[in-house]
Homo-oligomer: A and B are copies of this chain.
Protein backbone atom coordinates (compact mmCIF):
# COMPACT_ATOMS: atom_id res chain seq x y z
CA UNK A 1 0.00 0.00 0.00
CA UNK A 2 1.20 3.47 -0.76
CA UNK A 3 2.48 5.52 2.10
CA UNK A 4 2.91 9.22 1.57
CA UNK A 5 4.81 11.69 3.65
CA UNK A 6 1.61 13.01 5.14
CA UNK A 7 0.18 9.69 6.13
CA UNK A 8 3.51 8.85 7.70
CA UNK A 9 3.33 12.00 9.77
CA UNK A 10 -0.23 11.28 10.74
CA UNK A 11 0.82 7.90 12.06
CA UNK A 12 3.63 9.39 14.10
CA UNK A 13 1.41 12.04 15.64
CA UNK A 14 -1.08 9.33 16.50
CA UNK A 15 1.69 7.38 18.15
CA UNK A 16 2.64 10.36 20.26
CA UNK A 17 -0.93 11.22 21.12
CA UNK A 18 -1.89 7.79 22.33
CA UNK A 19 1.40 7.40 24.12
CA UNK A 20 0.48 10.59 25.91
CA UNK A 21 -2.79 9.16 27.14
CA UNK A 22 -1.32 5.98 28.51
CA UNK A 23 -0.91 3.56 25.64
CA UNK A 24 2.40 2.75 24.03
CA UNK A 25 3.72 4.55 21.03
CA UNK A 26 3.48 1.49 18.86
CA UNK A 27 -0.12 0.91 19.89
CA UNK A 28 -0.83 4.49 18.91
CA UNK A 29 0.83 4.02 15.56
CA UNK A 30 -1.25 0.93 14.95
CA UNK A 31 -4.41 2.87 15.62
CA UNK A 32 -3.23 5.60 13.31
CA UNK A 33 -2.56 3.14 10.57
CA UNK A 34 -5.82 1.30 11.05
CA UNK A 35 -7.66 4.59 10.72
CA UNK A 36 -6.38 5.27 7.25
CA UNK A 37 -5.39 1.98 5.69
CA UNK A 38 -7.10 0.35 2.76
CA UNK A 39 -8.57 -2.13 3.25
CA UNK A 40 -9.52 -1.25 6.81
CA UNK A 41 -8.54 -4.67 8.07
CA UNK A 42 -4.90 -5.66 8.18
CA UNK A 43 -2.91 -8.60 9.33
CA UNK A 44 0.00 -8.45 11.66
CA UNK A 45 2.64 -8.86 9.01
CA UNK A 46 1.21 -5.90 7.14
CA UNK A 47 1.39 -3.78 10.25
CA UNK A 48 4.95 -4.86 10.86
CA UNK A 49 5.76 -3.83 7.34
CA UNK A 50 3.88 -0.55 7.40
CA UNK A 51 5.15 0.62 10.77
CA UNK A 52 8.66 -0.73 10.74
CA UNK A 53 8.19 -2.30 14.15
CA UNK A 54 9.08 -5.78 15.25
CA UNK A 55 6.71 -8.70 15.10
CA UNK A 56 6.76 -9.07 18.84
CA UNK A 57 5.93 -5.46 19.56
CA UNK A 58 3.05 -5.53 17.13
CA UNK A 59 1.81 -8.78 18.59
CA UNK A 60 1.71 -7.52 22.15
CA UNK A 61 0.35 -4.10 21.19
CA UNK A 62 -2.49 -5.75 19.30
CA UNK A 63 -3.27 -7.91 22.27
CA UNK A 64 -3.47 -4.84 24.49
CA UNK A 65 -5.59 -2.92 22.02
CA UNK A 66 -7.91 -5.85 21.64
CA UNK A 67 -8.29 -6.15 25.41
CA UNK A 68 -9.21 -2.48 25.50
CA UNK A 69 -11.74 -2.97 22.71
CA UNK A 70 -10.03 -0.35 20.63
CA UNK A 71 -9.22 -2.86 17.94
CA UNK A 72 -11.03 -6.01 16.97
CA UNK A 73 -10.03 -9.22 15.34
CA UNK A 74 -11.65 -10.16 12.06
CA UNK A 75 -11.55 -13.33 10.06
CA UNK A 76 -12.90 -14.45 6.73
CA UNK A 77 -14.18 -17.80 5.58
CA UNK A 78 -11.62 -19.80 3.71
CA UNK A 79 -8.82 -17.69 5.09
CA UNK A 80 -7.13 -18.87 8.26
CA UNK A 81 -5.34 -15.63 8.91
CA UNK A 82 -6.45 -13.12 11.49
CA UNK A 83 -7.03 -9.52 10.58
CA UNK A 84 -7.37 -6.49 12.79
CA UNK A 85 -9.32 -3.30 12.40
CA UNK A 86 -10.38 -0.40 14.56
CA UNK A 87 -13.20 -1.57 16.76
CA UNK A 88 -16.72 -0.63 15.81
CA UNK A 89 -17.35 1.25 19.03
CA UNK A 90 -13.85 2.33 19.84
CA UNK A 91 -14.71 5.96 20.41
CA UNK A 92 -17.78 5.60 22.54
CA UNK A 93 -15.84 2.92 24.32
CA UNK A 94 -13.06 5.30 25.20
CA UNK A 95 -15.55 7.93 26.24
CA UNK A 96 -17.08 5.45 28.58
CA UNK A 97 -13.64 4.63 29.93
CA UNK A 98 -13.18 8.28 30.67
CA UNK A 99 -16.53 8.35 32.36
CA UNK A 100 -15.31 5.59 34.56
CA UNK A 101 -12.64 7.95 35.82
CA UNK A 102 -15.41 10.17 37.06
CA UNK A 103 -16.78 7.31 39.05
CA UNK A 104 -13.38 6.60 40.50
CA UNK A 105 -13.08 10.20 41.58
CA UNK A 106 -16.46 10.10 43.22
CA UNK A 107 -15.59 6.93 45.05
CA UNK A 108 -12.37 8.54 46.14
CA UNK A 109 -14.24 11.49 47.59
CA UNK A 110 -16.63 9.18 49.38
CA UNK A 111 -13.74 7.34 50.87
CA UNK A 112 -12.34 10.60 52.13
CA UNK A 113 -15.67 11.64 53.58
CA UNK A 114 -15.81 8.41 55.47
CA UNK A 115 -12.39 9.10 56.89
CA UNK A 116 -13.60 12.53 57.99
CA UNK A 117 -16.85 11.20 59.41
CA UNK A 118 -16.64 13.23 62.58
CA UNK A 119 -15.16 16.39 61.13
CA UNK A 120 -16.99 19.67 60.74
CA UNK A 121 -19.08 20.24 57.58
CA UNK A 122 -16.72 23.05 56.73
CA UNK A 123 -13.79 20.72 56.67
CA UNK A 124 -15.70 18.11 54.72
CA UNK A 125 -16.80 20.66 52.16
CA UNK A 126 -13.92 20.13 49.74
CA UNK A 127 -14.78 16.46 49.51
CA UNK A 128 -18.54 16.97 49.36
CA UNK A 129 -18.05 19.30 46.46
CA UNK A 130 -15.84 16.79 44.71
CA UNK A 131 -18.44 14.08 45.21
CA UNK A 132 -21.35 16.18 44.01
CA UNK A 133 -19.61 17.52 40.95
CA UNK A 134 -18.45 14.14 39.79
CA UNK A 135 -21.84 12.67 40.55
CA UNK A 136 -23.43 15.30 38.37
CA UNK A 137 -21.06 14.62 35.51
CA UNK A 138 -21.62 10.94 35.92
CA UNK A 139 -25.31 11.35 35.20
CA UNK A 140 -24.94 13.90 32.42
CA UNK A 141 -22.28 12.07 30.51
CA UNK A 142 -24.45 9.19 29.33
CA UNK A 143 -27.01 11.73 28.17
CA UNK A 144 -24.41 13.28 25.93
CA UNK A 145 -23.50 9.90 24.50
CA UNK A 146 -27.15 9.09 23.83
CA UNK A 147 -27.63 12.39 22.08
CA UNK A 148 -24.65 11.66 19.89
CA UNK A 149 -25.96 8.22 19.10
CA UNK A 150 -29.00 9.75 17.50
CA UNK A 151 -27.04 12.26 15.48
CA UNK A 152 -24.69 9.53 14.44
CA UNK A 153 -27.50 7.65 12.75
CA UNK A 154 -28.69 10.74 10.94
CA UNK A 155 -25.21 11.30 9.63
CA UNK A 156 -24.98 7.84 8.21
CA UNK A 157 -22.37 6.55 10.59
CA UNK A 158 -24.41 3.55 11.66
CA UNK A 159 -21.68 1.15 10.77
CA UNK A 160 -19.00 2.70 12.92
Contact in complex: B148, A112 (CB < 8 Å): no
* Residues in B whose Cβ lies below 8 Å from that of A95: 137
- Classify chain A: how many residues form its interface, as a range: 35 or more
CB-based contact A112/B147 at 8 Å: no
So how many copies of this chain end up in the complex? 2
Could you say which residues of chain B place their CB within 8 Å of the CB of A116?
A: 7, 36
Interface 0/1 of A120-134, CB less than 8 Å to B: 000101110110111
Q: Is A46 an interface residue (CB 8 A)?
A: no
Write out the residue numbers on chain B whose beta carbons fall within 8 Å of the beta carbon of A157: 125, 129, 132
Asked if B129 and A151 sit within 8 Å, CB to CB, the answer is: no
Instruction: From known contacts A86-B126, A91-B130, A137-B144, infer whether A114 and B35 are also in contact, taking CB-CB under 8 Å.
Output: no
Chain A interface SS verdict (over half): helix
Q: Which residue of B lies closest to A95 (CB)?
A: B137
Name the segment of A9-17, A58-66, A75-83 touching the other chain.
Answer: A9-17
Chain B residues, Cβ within 8 Å of A108:
10, 13-14, 17
- A126 and B6 contacting across the interface, CB-CB below 8 Å: no
A45, CB-defined interface residue at 8 Å: no
CB-based contact A91/B140 at 8 Å: no
Please determine whether B137 and A152 come into contact, CB atoms closer than 8 angstroms.
no
8 Å CB interface, A130-160 against B: 130, 132-134, 136-137, 140-141, 144, 147-148, 151-152, 155, 157, 160
